Amino acid sequence: MESPAIPVPLDPQEQPILERLLRTRDALLLLKQDKSSYIKSRDVLPLYEEVISEVEKLNSVRKEQDRRLIHNRLDYVLDDCFQLISLLFLTVGRNNEAPAVYTLATTVQRLLDHLEEAGFYSNKDLDSITKTLAGMRETLDRGRDTYSPALLTLLESRLEQCQISLERLQKGLAVLDPELVKTHETLVSILRSTSAVNTRSKFSASEVNHLRDQLRKIEAHMKDGNFVGKDGRILAGQEELKKLMERCWRWTEIVLERQGKIDERFQDQYENLLDIRNQLDRISVTQAWSLRETDLFGYQRRLDRVDESRVNGNFVDAEGQPADLHAQRTLLYLIRRSYAYIYALLISSEPVSEALLPVYNQLQTLRRCLIEVKESGGVSNSRELYPYSMKLNSIDNMRVDGKFYVGPDIPEGQGVSTLCSQSATTLFGSYGLL
């Protein structure tokens, strides 16, 4: 779980805290790995309380010693515990409670750091993160009377760091004239698309050449080497866009030259990251039916360890020699893409317990089918809707006293499932069937 380079706690008062947290982490990992039954809130909450108790003790020790900034093995184990608890809260459907925020906050920070390091991103990237941060703040505000101040202080600090990084990136885009925004987004897309082609199992030179054709079209609209507006004026943000254009040309040249083959010194790292990216890609396709949020922990940790193994931002080989530009950009692209998949999976997680997901997914599918029927012109007679009506009734009959039970338990997400059922019922009503 940890790198051998991580120092052990120097303060003897921290050692017993570390030992207790290691036991708690083991319990959390066992809970995560147990696929024999659904995870329940009552399984998670006692472990959450154990972690919070140790955090409060640690805060007391470090306040006395004035050693808040020291980062040792205890901090890494504590981070593991919070990540696992956060993912477990998502798994049981408690998405809108403070502990669930932790894993999303750390993923957002990773994404922002990588966007800043890469030096290219679009307003669309930042708009999504802005909305996500606002939602996380609302979650913290709702939890002020429920959750420990130690947890809330930690999460507020994480969100503040994210906000500072976000504002720094927003300033980088503020220099662009509004008329250049679309061109800028196209150039960002070309860079990312080139990297995607570069990491496919079968390299396609024609795709890269098509992207170069797009660059030529953009250049064709320039006048005297400048980007100009509709009124002929030279637009603000010229230098930034020209640098991005040069970067696109250079990257497409390198990718065509290398034909998707990476320096063999970094082949193992490449295959590891490619495997992570491909697995996350498959999960994103089947997410609604197959994702257990705790499964993301393993991918997060594998990515974190690769990311943290860099020296001064560079990947290095066994002899400490840095990677060339092609290997460096290829590996960083795979890391960034994988974090982006994790981010997308986290923000699309529904506030429904995994125990209720089969029912919820059936209701969602039924609702989408009814919407498609309505948008395609409706039905000629009510009989065409009978199969949908029978399915809705069979799901509705599963409820006891208005609640969905799984064994003796009432899983989280009752309100969302009921709302989805009501929405489907309303669609039937619009046909006069109910």
Q: What is the pLDDT of residues 11-68, one digit of tens each?
A: 788 899 999 999 999 999 999 998 888 899 999 999 999 999 999 999 888 876 655 5
Confidence (pLDDT) at 409: 78
Partners of 226 in the beta sheet?
Answer: 223
- First-to-last alpha carbon distance for the chain, in angstroms, is 56
Confidence (pLDDT) at 371: 82
The closest of 7, 5, 2, 10 to 61, measured between CA atoms, is 10
Percent of the chain with pLDDT over 90: 65
Residues in the chain: 434
Please name the amino acid found at residue 252: T
Mean pLDDT of the chain: 88
Flag whether pLDDT at 240 surpasses 70. yes
Question: 395-418 pLDDT, tens per residue?
Answer: 888 878 778 777 777 778 777 656
- SS3 assignment for 183-244: HHHHHHHHHHHHHHHHCCCCCCHHHHHHHHHHHHHHHHCCECCECECCCCCECCCHHHHHHH
b/e sequence 325-340, b meaning 16+ C-beta within 10 Å: ebbbbbbbbbbbbbbb
Segment of 69-78, 276-285, 346-355 carrying the highest mean pLDDT = 276-285
Is residue 69 classed as helix, strand or coil in its secondary structure?
Answer: coil
Flag whether pLDDT at 5 surpasses 60. no
Please name the amino acid found at residue 369: C
Helix (H) or strand (E) holding 11: none
CA angle 112–153–47, rounded 5-degree value: 95
